[in-house]
Amino acid sequence: MSVFDELVGQAPLIEQLQHAAGDPTAMTHAWLFTGPPGSGRSKAARAFAAALQCEGSGAPGCGQCQACRTVLAGSHADLIVEATSETFIRVGRARELALAAGSRPTVGRWRVIIVEDADRLNDQAADALLKSLEEPPPRTVWMLCAPSLEDLLVTIRSRCRHMRLRTPPVDDVAALLQQRDGIDGAMAHYAARAAQSHVGIARRLALDESARSRRRTVTSIPLGLTGLGPALAAAEELHVSAVEGSASASGQEADEERAAFLTQLGADPSARTQPPAIRSHLKEFDERRKRLARRQQHDTIDAALTDLTSVYRDALVLGTGAEVEAINATEVSAVRDLARVMSPVQLLQALDTIGLARARLVANGSPLLVLEAMMVALILPRAGRVG
């Protein structure tokens, strides 16, 4: 057993991390993990943190000692994990992390600070980390995670040792689902391929029929875009699905968190009204929950756009005769119809349209308006509509 066992398809990177954890001369004070969604950036950072703290006698990262277990669980005293649920990591939080980085480790060898979604650092927050990233105390290690180098300021990435993760092979992801979760082989391969090797999404697709149903709904959209009405209806359906999904995912959790928050403040969670001092704290709490709901909506929409992109990508591959495996292997007839009614140039334009929509969402564009503009731009050419 090893802390690196669930890091799929990253053998060269694992070898480097194990070497660094076992050889002080190979260590550095700041690391940057990049890779596409689902490649395991955060898993790599946590596994490396566990290996650094490992108390076992064998190779670093035994996965069995107390240090390894508590790091992987996120409860180690010398580990801080910044996993934001908001659109941006703000300067105030960055200053708190920089201050924490100045503390010496209490029980472990290292004080480790992992910043997941480091690409969400706004410019002021990034600037607040520069000094600590450049000259941290001797036993402090920073680990930043981001999709690519370009998602971070040059001043940040120049202070870090870069570790790039690759998209894991479909077969490796399927094997993990079978071994770890006991999923049937055929379902595991379908889920791994449909999720484009994103381990978390693959597991959800394999275990949740409603997730598979939602994906089928999204992948059926392109051939239904026959005019303005269907395009606007498709945008509305995607938006409503994201809003409802966010509400159902966070509703009960928010109520429980709100009650716990009031209890910590010494207030009665069941009271109809709260004292003025409590109300000011509640206002801040409610604003934070609203930001979380917006983030969840955007993430849900972005996942749907990833599935939508895969259909146009498969049609382009089929239309150009490229010998590349299809993502949507179970929807071959629909992909073939799309390749018949749209030329390769039009399919490329469709991919650009979806990419533009994703950029607008990141820039905090109105989700419904962004989706409507995208769907209208994706309306099928009149001369080639199916049926």
pLDDT tens digits, one per residue of 290-341? 767 777 788 889 889 999 999 999 999 999 988 888 999 888 899 999 999 9
pLDDT band at 223 (very low <50, low <70, confident <90, very high): very high
Residue 144 has pLDDT above 90, yes or no: yes
Sequence length of the chain is 387
What pLDDT, on the 0 to 100 scale, is given for residue 219? 95
Residue 253 has pLDDT above 60, yes or no: no
pLDDT band at 249 (very low <50, low <70, confident <90, very high): very low
What pLDDT, on the 0 to 100 scale, is given for residue 72? 93
What pLDDT, on the 0 to 100 scale, is given for residue 49? 97
Residues linked to residue 219 through DSSP beta bridges, in sequence order: none
* CATH 3.40.50.150 applies to domain 11-164: no
Contact 79, 49 (CB under 8 A): yes
What pLDDT, on the 0 to 100 scale, is given for residue 351? 97
Cβ contacts of 12 within 8 Å, gap of 6 or more: none
CA geometry: angle 161, 167, 170, nearest 5 deg: 150
Contact 278, 265 (CB under 8 A): yes
What pLDDT, on the 0 to 100 scale, is given for residue 243? 81
Other C-beta atoms lying within 10 Å of the C-beta of residue 103: 13
pLDDT band at 256 (very low <50, low <70, confident <90, very high): low
The CA distances from residue 97 to 47, 120, 177, 243, 321, in Å, are: 20, 15, 35, 32, 51
Percent of the chain with pLDDT over 70: 91
Count of H-run helices and E-run strands, the chain: 16, 5
Contact 122, 88 (CB under 8 A): yes
What pLDDT, on the 0 to 100 scale, is given for residue 273? 77
Cα(221)–Cα(241) distance, integer angstroms: 14
Residue 240 has pLDDT above 50, yes or no: yes
CA count, 13 A, side-chain hemisphere, 380: 22
- Give the residue-averaged pLDDT of 211-222: 93
- Give the residue-averaged pLDDT of 130-136: 89
What pLDDT, on the 0 to 100 scale, is given for residue 245? 64
More confident residue, 270 or 239: 239
Contact 217, 371 (CB under 8 A): no
Cα(108)–Cα(317) distance, integer angstroms: 51
Residue 87 has pLDDT above 90, yes or no: no
